[in-house]
């Protein structure tokens, strides 16, 4: 088993080094893809460093668990500093002995079993940390891309509102409309400008959040093609199954630790022996004699039964938590599948027929307003519908990518920890 732990440690260290060496050198204003963001985050994330330290600590704990008890050397001096013939050291007798504790009941193998189980748990936790980091980066990237598209939409609406104000002024100057249309168009322009300024600030916050994850400023454009890519959301979602996922691997590892704890507690009930041998020097005759000793503790007060009961209760708790983890993981996977499918359907519709209809309606309303064939309220309603449709598509795309990232995290496969 110690070879497996060493392999996990080496794999973690190599992965961390590889991420640091292959992190892309992105120019300050160059486009930033999702793959580049993930590589940059993997090279700088402190959570991965902490996970690697946990694996190293678990490997060191395994080495400690395999150590045997140290022998003891004792030196005894008798018949010293007394009275009469025992005054001073004239009658001193010295004994030098070596004592060796002998563990019984399989204590060493039980300790190793606990350490191995904790090492497996550390490896699973490292994989969970990597999966969570990936999910966080994807979500932050999607939120930044969505904020970028909202800002572009808001700026386009601000430009359209400014054009509407000029058209209203021209109609009023030509005597074809009431002056109230100028006031109404000016209000729409001011509101659109305020919305654009608000979305600019939100986009800056989203980019700052992404920059903190990847360890560098985000100044270039993001991948809009990735953000707009949606897989079909039609058809029933697949059956939710958490078998072999990280969530269950963590619960399984916790149960294995509890099992090992029970074995360790049972092994502790067997008393250990301490055997010793030494030599005694008899000053009075100048002779040397061998000394042998055997020490056996008597389990009168602490029989170890309470420790076994405690470990067994902890094992029952871990077993119950394992069943709870399976139920929770299946439910979470089903929810993420439904959210992703629903968001994909909404995004596909909002980007396709609904958006095309809204754009055509707005185009006709603009032409009709300029030519005096339709009213200003019709134009404002068409522009508002177009903006709402675009924003609905952006929101649906963001929901889709967040749900997909959550689904990927929930279904991430557990690492293969089988070994000799």
Q: pLDDT tens across 251-295, in order?
A: 999 999 999 999 999 999 999 999 999 998 887 777 889 999 999
Residue 344's closest CA among 236, 229, 239, 238?
229
Identify the residue with better confidence: 2 or 105.
Answer: 105
Domains within the chain, CATH numbers bracketed: 2-68+109-265+309-410 (1.20.1600.10), 70-102+270-303 (2.20.200)
Residue 126's closest CA among 10, 37, 244?
10
**What are the distances in angstroms from CA 178 to CA 159, 238, 364, 389?**
23, 59, 22, 30
Is-contact 85 91, C-beta < 8 A? Answer: yes
Run of H or E including 77: strand 72-78
Beta bridge partners of 290: 279
- For residue 239, name the pLDDT band (cuts at 50, 70, 90): low
State the pLDDT at residue 418.
Answer: 65
**DSSP-H helix ranges across 31-179:** 34-44, 46-65, 107-173
Least confident of 66-70, 106-110, 186-190: 186-190
State the pLDDT at residue 377.
Answer: 77
Least confident of 97-101, 125-129, 230-234, 269-273: 230-234
Instruction: Give the list of residues 6+ apart from residue 105 with CB closer than 8 angstroms, or none.
Output: 266, 267, 268, 269, 270
Terminal alpha carbon distance of the chain: 5
Is-contact 358 385, C-beta < 8 A? Answer: yes
Q: Which tokens is 291 given?
A: 């000394």
State the pLDDT at residue 354.
Answer: 80
Is-contact 347 393, C-beta < 8 A? Answer: yes
């Amino acid at each position: 088993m110690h070879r497996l732990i060493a392999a996990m440690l080496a794999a973690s260290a190599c992965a961390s080094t590889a991420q640091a060496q292959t992190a892309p050198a992105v120019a300050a204003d160059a486009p930033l893809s999702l793959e580049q963001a993930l590589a940059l985050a993997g090279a700088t994330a402190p959570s991965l460093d902490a996970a690697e330290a946990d694996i190293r600590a678990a490997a060191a704990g395994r080495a400690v668990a395999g150590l045997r008890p140290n022998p003891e050397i004792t030196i005894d001096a008798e018949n010293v500093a007394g009275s009469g013939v025992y005054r001073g050291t004239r009658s001193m007798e010295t004994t030098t002995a070596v004592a060796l504790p002998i563990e019984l009941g399989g204590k060493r193998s039980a300790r190793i079993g606990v350490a191995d189980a904790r090492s497996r748990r550390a490896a699973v936790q490292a994989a969970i940390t990597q999966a969570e980091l990936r999910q966080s980066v994807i979500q932050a990237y999607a939120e930044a891309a969505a904020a970028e598209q909202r800002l572009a939409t808001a700026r386009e609406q601000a430009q359209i509102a400014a054009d509407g104000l000029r058209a209203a002024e021209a109609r009023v100057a030509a005597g074809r409309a009431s002056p109230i249309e100028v006031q109404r168009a000016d209000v729409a322009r001011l509101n659109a400008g305020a919305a654009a300024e608000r979305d600019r600030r939100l986009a800056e916050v989203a980019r700052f959040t992404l920059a903190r994850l990847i360890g560098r400023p985000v100044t270039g454009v993001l991948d809009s093609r990735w953000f707009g890519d949606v897989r079909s959301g039609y058809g029933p979602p697949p059956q939710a199954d958490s078998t072999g996922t990280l969530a269950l691997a963590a619960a399984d590892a916790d149960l294995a630790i509890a099992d090992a704890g029970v074995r360790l507690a049972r092994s502790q009930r067997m008393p250990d022996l301490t055997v010793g041998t030494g030599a005694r020097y008899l000053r009075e005759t100048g002779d040397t004699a061998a000394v042998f000793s055997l020490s056996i503790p008597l389990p009168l007060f602490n029989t170890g039964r309470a420790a076994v009961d405690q470990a067994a209760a902890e094992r029952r708790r871990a077993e119950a938590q394992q069943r709870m983890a399976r139920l929770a993981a299946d439910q979470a996977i089903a929810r993420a599948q439904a959210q992703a499918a629903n968001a994909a359907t909404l995004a596909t519709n909002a980007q396709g027929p609904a958006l095309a209809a809204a754009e055509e309606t707005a185009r006709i309303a603009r032409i009709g307003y300029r030519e005096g064939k339709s009213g200003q309220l019709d134009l404002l309603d068409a522009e508002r519908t177009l903006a709402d449709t675009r924003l609905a598509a952006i929101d649906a795309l963001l929901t889709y990518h967040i749900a997909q990232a959550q689904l990927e995290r929930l279904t991430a496969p557990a690492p293969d920890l089988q070994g000799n």
